Structure 1
Amino acid sequence: MKSRSTSSRTAKAAKQRAKLDRETIVDAAIARAEAEGLDELSARKLGQDLRCEAMSLYHHVGSMEALKDLIVDRLLGSIARAEGNDPAEALARESRAYLNLAEAHARIFVLIATRRWKGDRAVATAMRSIGYFGALGFGTQEAVARARALGAYLNGAGLALAAWATDPDNPRLSDGAQVRDDLLQGLDLLLASLAKA
């Protein structure tokens, strides 16, 4: 006969397993990576966080590489579509939001900057940028080229901002504010150039 405490633990474990789904796993992965860094993101450690077997995760996310794509998709989906009819202004607002994302999720921004964007929300973010250039009068090929140039700048600037935000040995964080100002000025100059026919 099972003891009451064993039965209680079994019921609690079953309840925890019942809560396991893709969104819960992505939430936990983001929390772990932000708290501990990407090097500490593994199926075993994530399983410990979620009180489940590491192999249980793969039923919901496929693989750790697929999980990283889901993280990228989730974070890019947090960038709201810019309101209004001015495509140049929309590009500027969404570009700044992207850099804000880099600072807000500094310990995991490298995933966004270095992975191909595969998820629906990630692809929609990229397509919006191309669409804004199209609305500025550029043909498809030119709109894609300009969106790629903007993306390259944003990824580099985002990685720089993330580095400043996560450097534990930086005694002069005020320098980071100057770096941000410089990068935003560079963004404005780039956008002005890219928006011209």
Structure 2
Amino acid sequence: MTGTDGNEKRVAAYIALAANDPVLAAMIETHGTPDPFVWNDGGRTGTSNFAAMMLHIIGQQISITVAYTLYDRIATATGGIPDPDTVIALGPGRLRGFGLSNAKARYIFDLAGRVRSGQLEIQHMDDLSDAEAVTALTAVTGVGLWSAEMFLIHQLHRQDILPAGDIGVRRAIARAWTLNEIPTIDQVRQRGQGWAPGRSYATALLWRSLTITEGTPA
């Protein structure tokens, strides 16, 4: 979300978070009001939701630097931003040859097949509710809740997403609330209930706190 309207919504969201949670209020004073919808992929995926979802899949449980390297190999082989047709033409074997695991090659191939067949209209999800969008995305082999939530935040710009299973979010909560241990997923969800309907902004703030204090990518 960009422009004046997006800035106004961001300011309003952080004002509401600060009013409802004194810990978040202190974090806003320290870390500012980050835009949760900025996704710095270096322009690799353009406006393609398919390519973005592919990058989210590639990035599961590996560093962003490695994910970019693997994605770029595929993009080079497809002659630009990958689309379902060019990925299917490569086939799982060549995808594995670029350094993907057998599982991730299979996941990406399934994603491409579903998008090409129309089972998943990934470029036209704006009219779906958050729950409907998550259901549609997690029907793809290998796309779990975390990957779907990243897509909802970064591609669909949904304002009330809290990826409770994200280890960065959980670590940031443990630090900010001086907990003795990292909270469980259910504990994160419970704590985040009071942040609705701006949980994507709370998530961005939690990520920012780690970026600044630990050098962890948000």
Coarse TM-score class (shorter-chain normalised): under 0.3
Q: Structure 1 or 2: larger helix share?
A: 1
